[in-house]
Chain A
Amino acid sequence: MFFALTDEQRALGDTVRDFLADRFGLTAVRAVFEDAAGDGHPPELWKAVGEQGWLAVCVPESFDGLGLGILDAQVVARALGAGVAPGPWLPTVLAAEAVRLAGSDAQRAELLPRLASGELVATVALRGAGRGYDADGVAVTASVPAGESAPSAGTGAEAGVEAGAEVGLLTGTASPVEYLTVAGLVVVAATEPGRVAATSASAGAGAGSDGGSDVGLYLVDPGAPGVTVTRLTSYDGTTRLATLALDGVRARRLPGSSTAVLDDLLRRGAVLTAADLAGIAREALTRTVRYDQERIQFGRAVGSFQALKHQLADLHVAVTMAEHAVMYAAYAIDAELPDLLLAVAVAKAKASQAARDATSTMIQFHGGIGYT
């Protein structure tokens, strides 16, 4: 039994934390946060993120990555969460995961090294505004371009098109999409009503869809004709959002994609988001404890009052449980454990609750300073 991070994994987390403390502390974060007109994507931070290999964690070594798993990625996500670091790390990692899981060899070779280095910023557009995180939440539709039949095995190779390459015309919207304004590549989920009849192979992949059409993942160039990007204002200046509208946009399909791959991708996103939240929760708790050790009222440190102590103790338990749950869920994905669906749900639910409790307690236990 070894339910713990290795020394290497701990060191990875320390590296991210130390870097942020030295080079991108809260003053820098606040400057990004308050720069409403900016793109929320400080280049010096991104350069370091790429150089340090934090985008390369899940990319195979054969594509210039580190060849590690979600367990390692959650270490980075937790540290970035603790430092409330802005920038498109998570969406770029998820886009790379989509390419890794469902891309053709040619697509992997073309994109993964550039995504791993940070040269190419990417994001994912997987659901329509206000909709759920599953196949039913997809609000983009893919159709087969007129005059081109949906390829089936062996017939896809035409002049100028690589074998196995497939193309769709995408119409619909996805929102909110993280860091869309700075992305050079968007992985878009689209339902494929025409495809069910055209191919039976992907529909039989054991997807979680309820008898509807399958979902494919497409590589969209945000500069392509028919793409409209509209910035959204958000309370959270450390995560920039936009709406992606597509009107007959020609896009390459990831040939291995399916509803099952979408679900897998969403689970990876959920665990990394849970890790981000666990990092935020731990940092909020640590800062609150530090403040309440020093803040004097009624002639004593307010942290000596049991009304605060007991709530902070409960928070410590909750945050620790969230950390355990995130670690377990990440490992469940990497090792394909039989209870991975439950594990991901537990991690996301627990980390979300812990982060909300820790941050709201942080505001309350900082008193007036917490709200101003």
Chain B
Amino acid sequence: MDLTFSAKEEEFRADLRGWLADNIPAEWSRPGFWAGVPEDEGFEMRRDWEQRKFDAGFAGIDWPTEYGGRGGTPGMKAIYDEETASARAPSTVNALGLAFLAPTIMAIGTDEQKREIIRPLLRSEVIWCQGFSEPDAGSDLASLRTAGVADGPEIVVNGQKVWTTNASHGDRIFTLVRTEPGSQRHRGLSMLLIDMHQEGVEVRPLRQMSGATEFGEVFFTNARVPATECLGGLGNGWATAMLLLSFERGASGILQYTSFRRSYDEIVRAARALGRDRDPVLRQELGRRMVELECLRYHAMDVLTKVEQGVDLGSESSMTKLQWSETYQDLFETFDDLLGSDVAIDAPLADLDVTALQAEGFWSRSVTIWGGSSQVQRNIVAERVLGLPR
């Protein structure tokens, strides 16, 4: 066992920490700050933040320098996740592009795609959406129906995607489309990189239970995309999608731990302020949540070790997702128990501003659904890790 980072990595931590301290406005840390900013304005503030981070050399930490990255180690990426979360830096506006599309393009993209797409993505000049889910293709992605038909050098796309993150702010969307008419399931699909600023693409925001509209529906009506704007080759869409989703496996959970731990501490603060910190039942509940949070932290070290050693985590990443998402949701059930019926009041309680925690409580319901629902993750663990029959 050696739980330390290298001297170079710790030097990076010190640089980053100093830069974050100098560049994050104090008001961003105030509970409820982001909830009080109109959604579009908040998005632009966060986009601007991404660009400043890029210009300071703190973007694409473990990406090669040729793509504008820092060329750092997996340890530096973990440090980055930890430090940005503890400094309350806002979450990225280009999460799906950064986590999924960029590494896929680095792996199998054409030279032109590498040149044209990655750098503007990293600087959040181009916001990327992911067009996978459809009304009748959620967990069962292979049943998707959005169709693309060749028309000369272009493909004409018709269909609908749904639960699309950042749909309202998206510039382009990597979309899984059935490009061979009549094909079934995993065959005949292509990953098309579609411009959302064209007549045939219509976005309708979806209101979530928290009131926010981070998700949307995307309708394609004779939308056009050059056949060259296809990632991984026409007809290879399923393999491309699986490769793309595999990049989630490098995520250790340290980002989640750091951010959830902050929420945990705020819930404990709320319990004290409400005079509930001596309640033995609540204390037991908070104790259980702490056990799961700490296990997530240890697990993140395990994952980071494997990533550093080049071990393919494979289906084990489903375990990471289950641990963090279920822990997070349980934490906010404890928060509900703390506030009791007052949880419904959408305003500060006396001197206590818990509105940000309340919003998180709603958000926590989503994390066991997106990115592969807990039920799908359990199937994966049972079948591919434990070897139970299908």
Contacts and interface: CB of A to CB of B under 8 A. Distances in A.
Nearest to A342: B294
B1 A327 contact: yes
A114 interface: no
A303 B388 contact: yes
Contacts of A304: 388-390
A309 interface: yes
B291 A309 contact: no
Contacts of A289: 386-388
B256 to A, nearest CB: 14
B385 interface: yes
Contact of A1 (B75, B294, B299, B322): B75
B3 A317 contact: no
Contacts of A317: 319, 322-323, 381
B23 interface: no
Interface in B368-390: 375, 377-379, 381-383, 385-390
A5 B306 CA distance: 12
Nearest to A9: B1
Nearest to B380: A313
B187 to A, nearest CB: 26
A341 to B, nearest CB: 12
Contacts of A2: 1-3, 305
B302 interface: yes
B291 A350 contact: yes
Contacts of A337: 3
Given A317-B381, A328-B298, A312 B388 contact: yes
B308 interface: yes
B310 to A, nearest CB: 13
Interface string A293-321: 10000001101101011101110110011
Interface residues of A, number: 38
B290 interface: yes
Interface in B333-390: 375, 377-379, 381-383, 385-390
A2 B388 CA distance: 31
Contacts of B295: 321-322, 324-325, 346, 350
Contact of A310 (B75, B290, B291, B378): B378
B381 A316 contact: yes
Contacts, number: 116
B305 A313 contact: no
B78 to A, nearest CB: 8
Nearest to A306: B379
Interface string B303-329: 011001000000000010011000000
Interface string A270-311: 000000000000000000010011000000110110101110
A3 interface: yes
Contacts of A316: 319, 381-382, 385-386
Given A304-B390, A320-B319, A331-B3, A3 B302 contact: yes
A320 B386 CA distance: 12
A4 interface: yes
B19 interface: no
A1 B2 contact: yes
A282 B331 CA distance: 26
A325 B292 CA distance: 10
Given A304-B390, A309-B388, A324 B302 contact: yes
B1 A346 contact: no
B301 interface: yes
B369 to A, nearest CB: 16
B57 interface: no
A122 interface: no
A198 B390 CA distance: 71
B390 to A, nearest CB: 6
A71 interface: yes
A324 B302 CA distance: 8
A68 to B, nearest CB: 12
Contacts of B301: 1, 3, 324, 328
Contacts of A301: 388-389
A11 interface: no
B28 interface: no
Contacts of A292: 388
Given A1-B75, A306-B379, A317-B322, A331 B1 contact: yes
A306 B383 CA distance: 10
Interface in B1-50: 1-5
Contacts of A327: 1, 298
A156 B319 CA distance: 59
A312 B382 contact: yes
Nearest to A330: B1
B287 interface: yes
A343 interface: yes
Given A292-B388, A293-B389, A4 B378 contact: no
A349 interface: yes
Contacts of B379: 306, 309-310, 313
Nearest to A71: B1
Contacts of B385: 313, 316
Contacts of B390: 304
Nearest to B320: A317
Contacts of B319: 316-317, 320
Contacts of A321: 292, 295-296, 298-299, 323
Given A309-B383, A350-B291, A4 B302 contact: yes
Nearest to B308: A1
A349 B287 contact: yes
A313 B381 contact: yes
B298 A1 contact: no
A345 B287 CA distance: 10
B386 A313 contact: yes
B320 to A, nearest CB: 9
A346 B4 contact: no
Interface in B125-160: none
Given A4-B305, A310-B375, A313-B382, A293 B388 contact: yes
Interface of A: 1-5, 71, 289, 292-293, 300-301, 303-304, 306, 308-310, 312-314, 316-317, 320-322, 324-325, 327-328, 331, 335, 337, 342-343, 345-346, 349-350
16 contacts: A1-B304, A4-B305, A5-B1, A300-B389, A309-B379, A309-B383, A313-B381, A316-B381, A316-B386, A320-B319, A321-B295, A321-B323, A324-B302, A335-B3, A346-B294, A350-B295
Given A1-B305, A343-B294, A350-B291, 7 more contacts: A1-B78, A3-B301, A301-B389, A304-B390, A312-B388, A313-B378, A335-B1
Q: Which 3 A-B pairs have the closest CB atoms?
A: A3-B301, A309-B382, A313-B381
